[in-house]
Structure 1
Amino acid sequence: MTTLQSENCQTNDLNDLFPMSIESLRFPLDNSIQIIFTGYYNGYNVEVRSPEEITLLYHMGCFGKGSASRSRPALVNSDRYPEIIRKRQYLQRNNWYKKFGDSGCTLVSSTLLKELDELTAKIVSDGEKLKKKDIIDLVSSDEEFSHDDVDTENAVNQSFSTSEKDEITVVIPNSDSEEENYFAALKPQCCVNKIKMQEKLILTPEEAFFLAYGLGSLQVVYNNNILDLEQCWTLLCSNDRHFVDRYVVYHYFRSKGYVVKPGIKFGGDFLLYKDGPGIRHADYIIVIKSDTKQDDLITILGHVRVATTTVKEILLVEVLKPNGVTSKLPESLHLYHVKEVLLTRNIPMTINNDD
């Protein structure tokens, strides 16, 4: 059995802080000034819907993932580009807006689609001007490019002065097969997107209960009722029979300073990040041993092969349950213990003695 060194858990990244205000850490702790987030249980996960809460939770601990993003929520990205969709998608969104949108607002029809001919013509003309130059002044070239960029940006802002950047959608023609003729006749059009896909922060059950129980910074709402810790624990355990073991492992490694994420992509239960997903790749793949899983040699070699290919290491984790303890109340979690086994693959070097 090997244990992870405590110095490896230390990090200088400010994003690894827990979502708790530093000013609120006074003894005794005053719950009235503590940050409390709100999550909504949907039967599988817990959703955080407020944009401000989404930004805080992801920046202060890398909790959850975006519902419409791969990992990092789109709300956190400050340099987001306009969305590119097909024409059939745009028409379908217009139909949704007619059925479910505000009746008092006028729908932006297809007649208001503004082609980017003026902007394209300006880019082409600027490129021709640069080609005509025989001598390029390296000192003044950066300044000239910066002025052109400002003029282009001002033209776009004047054309869409009533719309924000995230409300503009680029519509391209429909095409089932992207051939050469399709790109030759491609004329993108800009429109105002009336149907906005709201980005939500999806918390796993382990993340949600850690925020509620471990940090006391999350309240879970289910059927318009705020659940207490006992009700939340019972609800999560009823939907996942392995929730107790998974949460014990999650709480254990989170307490050691690691950022814990789902590891189903790499064949494990969790992934351990020292600095967060946005800074570096995961260092360990967590595989939880249970009675329902077969730990034969082929399965172990498969885990080691995946870890070696992705430059990671395998941590076999076993949850030691005390005798006579029920999993209904979270007060018994301190009696659980976690055993770690680090798997390494030693490849002996072959020496060629034929020379």
Structure 2
Amino acid sequence: MLSPILRSATMSSTRSQLNAAAATRLSSIQRHLSTTPSGSRIERMTVFGAGLMGAGIAQVGAQSGLKVTLSDVTDKALENGLNIISKSLSRVAKKKSPDDIEGFTKKILANIETTTDAGKAVEDTDLVVEAIIESIKVKRDLFGFLDSKAKAECIFATNTSSLSVTEIAESCGKERQERFAGLHFFNPVPAMKLVEIIRTPQTSTSTYESLKEVTLRIGKAPVTCNDTPGFIVNRLLVPYLLESIRMVERGDATPEDIDTAMELGAGYPMGPFKLLDFVGLDTTTYIAQGWRGKAASGQISKELVEPIELLDKLVKEGKLGRKSGQGFYEYENKK
């Protein structure tokens, strides 16, 4: 079982101050943007992938008043996506509209339509956000198909967390590449404020401004990064997580003590091993493997992503974290 870790009153106070500062900054950015020229205004959004990420992106878009089309390959996947959204909206409604939870949920869901027809899904949309499997081939195949189906001014965005946005964009024509960027949301999308906007060398200023405007409109805090491995968050986070595992493998400290140290000493809301179990050890392994190709070409340091025997062993044993019931910790309920 995951043992509870006591948090100090000082940390709670610090987090409250940080949250307040972030909210103030977001409000300031929104006011500034409202008086700043931007690209084309986005009113209709299509999301590909009805899993947790895609459903979350569709939800926040619909909540902000965008007309959203959610697309996936099967009706069952779409039904699952709508169920995820409905449950999430019910939780939101308990705070925003406790006297009419059903009415609140129905109003937001009315902004979402679904289809398994990918071509139809993009006929009249202003923005496509892809949140499908983390495979560059599958993503390129999808965008290559959509390029001839969507209107010329439609913006394409990938939610990839670890792949090259530029390489994905190259599946489209040169004009579309100017309207192509990364739009990296964080899980769970409705709760996480941050969105990384990834600019490729071809991404136009108008495209970037349109994405920044819509990101703020849906209540998120955008940051900007060039198309580098891991962007901002994962470029710093993944090596930190891998080094944490190496510490345990070397016998330097236990996962419990490392988590406690980073939570109470560094002020992190979640220690590295809790986070590894939440993300999935298989996902972390997949990202590290992909980055080794980047290391071979000199884009990142090789020692940052060297294989770790302990991590590989846990993955081979099916101990993937929360979703399997066991990772670095054990869990009663699989999540």
TM-score (norm 2): 0.20
**Under a length normalisation based on structure 1, what TM-score does the superposition of the two structures give?**
0.19
Q: Which has the higher helix share?
A: 2
- Rg larger in 1 or in 2? 1
Q: Which has a greater percent of strand?
A: 1
